[in-house]
């Protein structure tokens, strides 16, 4: 579905992504994980064409991404970012349907599809007329997901989609998101820095550090046969506080 080969990116003199290869099979959920500045968000932004690679090729379903075709290809990708990126001057309905209306889709089709995605993310009908400032953080992310799913994309890209939410809502939304992914059977690429979240969602985890991929594989593989000491450190660093907590409760 998505093929990344020898893609690299510099900002000025600083390399943010070393030449990288990655293959994302269809129907899978792939999670990019790593500490801040490891290049995981850069990789996601390269896939959406928001930034251009310095070298290498990205192929989406057999088509090489180029500035000429990126607008068409983006219609087949849904993109959700941390704070939702909703347009503050448009209502929920207008935010979700903006692209469909721009493409002059049939009004009845738009209404039907809007209902579908609203039910999918369990957003009540009465919210449709509200504006982003009148929504809670969790509701905003639901709307953002609706907007990403509106045109029924083949690929869903999520950049720290739950990063700004408080723990309870985050937990609730994690459960729902996973159910939605399973139900839709779409290819998903998600960026997170939270190892538990990565393990929860990802068929495959891609651990990155300093602009390169350290290890790719299911969580079990990363935990049991770490390719580098860093892999173990990264997993332990996030597990340790919880372990101490469990210890204290005994």
Partner 1 sequence: MKAKQRVGVMLLGFCALLAITVASTVTNAATSAKELVSITIGSKVFTESVILGEMLRHLAQQTGIETHHQRQLGGTRVLWNALLSGEIDAYPEYTGTLLQEIMVKENLQTEAELKQALTAHGLRMTPALGFNNTYAIGIKAELAERLRLQSISDLKNHPELVLGFSNEFMDRADGWPGLQQAYRLPHQNVRGLDHDLAYRGIASGTLQVIDLYATDAEIAYYKLRTLEDDLNYFPVYNAVIVYRADVEQRAPEVAAMFNRLAGRIDAATMSSLNAQVKLNGEAESAVAAGFLKQALNLHVGYQIQTAWQRFWKHTAEHLILVGISLSAAIFFAVPLGILAARRERLGAIVLGVAGILQTIPSLALFVFMIPLLGIGGPPAIMALFLYSLLPIIRNTYAGLKDIPPAIVESAQALGLSSRARLRIVELPLATRTILAGIKTSAVINVGTASLSALIGAGGYGQPILTGIRLDDMGLILQGAIPAAMLALLVQGLFELIERGLLPKELRMQTNEVKSAS
**Which residues, in sequence order, are CB contacts of 219 under 8 Å at separation 6+?**
198, 199, 202, 205
Q: Which is nearer to partner 1, 133 or 246 (CB)?
A: 133
- 199 interacts with partner 1 by CB under 8 A: no
x/- letters, 15..54, toward partner 1 (CB under 8 A): ---------------------------------x-x----
x/- letters, 147..166, toward partner 1 (CB under 8 A): x---------x---------
Least distance to partner 1 from the beta carbon of 74, Å?
4
Cα distances from 184 to residues 84, 156, 177, in angstroms, run 21, 11, 10
- 72 interacts with partner 1 by CB under 8 A: yes
- Give the residue, chosen from 12, 62, 67, 88, that forms a contact with partner 1 under the rule CB under 8 A: 88
CA-nearest of 238, 176, 184 to 161 is 176
- 106 interacts with partner 1 by CB under 8 A: no
Q: What span, in angstroms and rounded, lies between the C-alpha atoms of 240 and 235?
A: 9
- Give the residue, chosen from 13, 14, 108, 133, that forms a contact with partner 1 under the rule CB under 8 A: 133
Tokens describing residue 102? 């721009």
Q: What span, in angstroms and rounded, lies between the C-alpha atoms of 70 and 91?
A: 27
- 120 interacts with partner 1 by CB under 8 A: no
- 180 interacts with partner 1 by CB under 8 A: no
Tokens describing residue 220? 């079990």
* Beta strands 77-80; 204-209: pairing state: unpaired
- 224 interacts with partner 1 by CB under 8 A: no
- 81 interacts with partner 1 by CB under 8 A: yes
- 128 interacts with partner 1 by CB under 8 A: no
- Give the residue, chosen from 20, 29, 139, 192, that forms a contact with partner 1 under the rule CB under 8 A: 139
- 246 interacts with partner 1 by CB under 8 A: no
Reported as type and span, the H/E element at residue 195 is helix 195-201
Tokens describing residue 204? 């495959």
- 206 interacts with partner 1 by CB under 8 A: no
Q: How far is CA 183 from the centre of its chain?
A: 17
* Beta strands 14-24; 29-33: pairing state: unpaired
Q: Which is nearer to partner 1, 138 or 202 (CB)?
A: 138
- Give the residue, chosen from 106, 125, 134, 232, that forms a contact with partner 1 under the rule CB under 8 A: 134
Q: What span, in angstroms and rounded, lies between the C-alpha atoms of 128 and 141?
A: 14
| Rg for the chain, CA atoms, rounded | 19
- 111 interacts with partner 1 by CB under 8 A: no
**Which residues, in sequence order, are CB contacts of 101 under 8 Å at separation 6+?**
110
Residues in contact with partner 1 by the rule CB under 8 A: 48, 50, 71-75, 77, 79, 81-83, 85-91, 94, 98-99, 101-102, 131-139, 147, 157, 169
């Amino acid at each position: 579905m998505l093929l990344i080969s020898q893609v690299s990116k510099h900002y000025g003199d600083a390399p943010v992504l070393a030449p990288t290869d990655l293959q994302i099979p269809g129907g899978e959920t792939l999670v990019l994980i790593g500490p801040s500045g490891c290049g995981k968000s850069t990789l996601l932004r390269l896939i959406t064409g928001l930034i251009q690679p310095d070298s290498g090729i990205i192929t989406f379903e057999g088509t090489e991404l180029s500035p000429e075709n990126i607008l068409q290809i983006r219609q087949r990708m849904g993109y959700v970012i941390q704070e939702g990126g909703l347009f503050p001057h448009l209502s929920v309905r207008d935010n979700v349907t903006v692209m469909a209306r721009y493409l002059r889709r049939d009004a009845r089709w738009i209404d039907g599809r809007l209902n579908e995605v609203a039910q999918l993310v369990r957003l009540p009908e009465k919210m449709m007329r509200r504006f982003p400032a009148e929504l809670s953080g969790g509701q905003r992310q639901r709307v953002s997901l609706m907007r990403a799913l509106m045109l029924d994309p083949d690929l869903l890209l999520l950049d720290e989609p739950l990063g700004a939410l408080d723990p309870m809502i985050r937990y609730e939304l994690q459960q729902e998101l996973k159910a939605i992914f399973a139900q839709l059977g779409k290819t998903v690429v998600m960026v997170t820095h939270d190892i538990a979240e990565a393990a929860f969602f990802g068929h495959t985890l891609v651990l990155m550090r300093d602009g390169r991929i350290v290890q790719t594989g299911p969580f079990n593989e990363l935990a049991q046969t770490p390719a580098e000491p860093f892999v173990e450190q990264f997993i332990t660093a996030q597990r340790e506080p919880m372990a101490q907590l469990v210890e204290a409760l005994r």
